[in-house]
Chain A
Amino acid sequence: MSAGTYTPRPGAAPLPRMIAAQAALETRMLLRNGEQLLLTVVIPTLLLVLFSSVDIIDTGAGEPVGFLTPGVLALAVMSTAFTGQAIATGFERRYGVLKRLGASPLPRWGLMAAKTLAVLVTEVLQIVLLTVIAFALGWSPEGNAFAVLLLLLLGTMAFSGLGLLMAGTLKAEATLAAANLVFLLLLVGGGVIVPLDRFPDAAQSVLGLLPISALSGGLRDVLQHGAPMPWGDAAVLAVWSLLGLGAAGRFFRWE
């Protein structure tokens, strides 16, 4: 490189370009990570295929795929917005990635916006994949698409808030363990593949307030039973969003 190569010429790129670049990088990092793919793609797909073709769980009246698909879509949202995001962000914090980006021209809110975009892009890919598989398994959804979209967005907000709260306050290893454990517990106890009415009444009323139950239950009401907008579930998700994002905003530590 010749003389004058490094002559200062500082300047930030335009904000939309920075955010787009950051979102593209974050998405690539998510899709490149094997463990993340297991969580976000392989597990939901396997559950959908396995439980709709083999009669292991009594999913109530109707085709199993009609019950399972909304649950698995909820699981996909949780796996990306919560588990995947928490683990990835926890390690980015631990390895100084968040810190280093903090000295770049990209503002912090821009980084968060890019992370959200990356989560949404990943979710779209997951949902497309799972929907195609569900149709192949004979799925025939009901309901209105707007209600489904709103629930998915609220669910993403609720899970992102909780995931970021975890990533920004716990150690990376603790986040890794806790995020996986929570994923497993909510998979079993959140109405994803096991209907909530299999649990004792007392447990049901508590489990029903979990974000995963609100999301899977709400999606099921719309997609399986053709219900209008399930405001109760939407309200539960909105409260989780407020709590999670509020606490994350307050307690998140960048280093």
Chain B
Amino acid sequence: MGALRAGRRPDLREGREDVGEPGAPGPSPARLDLPAMSSEPVVQARGLVKRYGTKTAVDGLGLEVAAGTVTAVLGPNGAGKTTTVEMCEGYRRPDGGTVRVLGLDPVADAAALRPRIGVMLQSGGVYSGARADEMLRHMAKLHAHPLDVGALVERLGLGSCGRTTYRRLSGGQQQRLALAMAVVGRPELVFLDEPTAGLDPQARRSTWDLIRELRADGVSVVLTTHFMDEAEELADDVAVIDAGRVVAQGSPEQLRRGGAENTLRFTGRPGLDLASLLKALPDGSEAAELTTGAYRITGRIDPELLATVTSWCAQHGVMPDGIAVERHTLEDVFLELTGKELRA
């Protein structure tokens, strides 16, 4: 969508007054209102920093995950998603900042934390000579009250793997096995690093369904993804990260609304009095005649605005043709926030 102001960073904090969010320090990432939290956040990261040699992979990142929600960490390759999640899982020690998971320090309190979380690594994690159900049964044995392995195998369509060992499973089957391993111990919180990478559309849907079932049963989910549609479909809260920083956070709806303005287009008689039209529209709207008779209104396009535009046209004897509303996707938001395509 060429109409976007790529590279410009819109002020997502504009909407904050509406929701009465207490003021956060200036340079912190844009933060929109969250659903009211019923309890302690299950993940609370502040000012996280991780360096590899001279490279700073995570750069002052803050993240908060409310209990019982699905949070998507969204960003392009190398944004620092895995590094962030692995600091929460206790695999990597932050070089700066603090992280608490279920109120615990993931490194110092690892023994207490591990039984309570489920982990799906971005890849691997299974003996190459193990069969899917064998590995899953094994993970189940490490927990006190595991899920029924047979039912889980069926649920994830792993029943057909039979006696095939892990190294010969298809990429999608390997992926689903890793997902099953993350949930089999009945954790309170699961971290899923790109749970749907490499899945066909059907398997992707079924993974989405499972994630929704987890949430419905009260499991908190943190997942990483490159896929905007995945974040929009699944997440209560999205943290958009780029170059190790959260550049925006909020519900998909809030991000779409706050991050990118939507567009209303129509054609009509050339030379309409746009100044008069703008007076009727809410502050912050813009109107332009792009080419002769082709109009574009940008701003917060809602049903009221649409009604205002059509009634203004009625008053001025204009028949607006080809009215079209373009609602921006998270993909646009990302482009707008970072000046980059999400997937190059």
Contact = CB atoms under 8 A, between A and B. Distances in A.
Interface of A: 1, 3-13, 17-18, 21-22, 25, 28-29, 32-33, 91-92, 95-97, 99-100, 102-107, 255
Contacts of A3: 213, 216-217
Given A6-B213, A11-B144, A33-B129, A25 B138 contact: yes
Given A22-B142, A91-B128, 5 more contacts: A5-B213, A7-B219, A8-B116, A11-B144, A103-B91
Contacts of A91: 128
Contact of B117 (A11, A21, A99, A103): A103
B130 A96 contact: no
Contacts of A1: 151-152, 155, 213
Instruction: Give chain A's interface secondary structure class.
Output: loop
Nearest to B189: A8
B124 A95 contact: yes
Given A1-B151, A18-B141, A25 B130 contact: yes
B7 interface: no
A100 B186 contact: no
29 contacts: A1-B213, A6-B147, A8-B186, A8-B188, A8-B218, A8-B219, A9-B144, A10-B115, A10-B186, A11-B145, A12-B115, A12-B142, A13-B141, A13-B142, A21-B142, A25-B127, A25-B130, A33-B129, A91-B128, A95-B124, A96-B124, A96-B125, A99-B121, A100-B125, A103-B90, A103-B119, A104-B185, A107-B111, A255-B91
B138 A21 contact: yes
B213 A97 contact: no
A15 to B, nearest CB: 10
A97 B142 contact: no
A92 B166 CA distance: 13
Contact of B217 (A5, A13, A103): A5
Instruction: Give chain B's interface secondary structure class.
Output: loop
B214 interface: yes
A21 B137 CA distance: 10
Nearest to A96: B124
Nearest to B120: A100
A157 B141 CA distance: 28
Nearest to B145: A9
A29 B186 contact: no
Contact of A100 (B90, B116, B181): B181
A107 B90 CA distance: 13
Contacts, number: 119
Interface in B104-142: 111, 114-117, 119, 121, 123-130, 134, 138-139, 141-142
A227 B95 CA distance: 59
Q: Which of B116, B138, B152 has the largest number of chain A CB atoms within 10 A? A: B138
Interface string B142-174: 111101000110010000000000000000000
A18 B129 contact: no
A6 B134 CA distance: 21
A33 B128 CA distance: 10
Nearest to B122: A96
B121 A96 contact: yes
A214 to B, nearest CB: 33
Contacts of A8: 116, 186-188, 217-219
Contacts of B216: 3
A95 B121 CA distance: 11
B127 A29 contact: yes
A10 B119 contact: no
Contacts of B213: 1, 3, 5-6
B130 to A, nearest CB: 7
A32 to B, nearest CB: 5
B50 to A, nearest CB: 14
B144 A13 contact: yes
B128 A7 contact: no
Nearest to A255: B91
A92 B218 CA distance: 33
A12 B144 CA distance: 5
B242 interface: no
A21 B188 CA distance: 24
Contacts of A28: 134
B89 interface: yes
B183 interface: yes
Interface in B184-214: 185-188, 213-214
Nearest to A102: B91
A91 B130 CA distance: 13
Contacts of B214: 6
A6 B183 contact: yes
Given A7-B186, A104-B139, A29 B129 contact: yes
Nearest to A106: B142
Contact of B141 (A10, A17, A97): A17
B142 A18 contact: yes
* 7 A-B pairs closest in CB distance: A96-B124, A11-B144, A100-B125, A6-B217, A21-B141, A103-B119, A12-B115
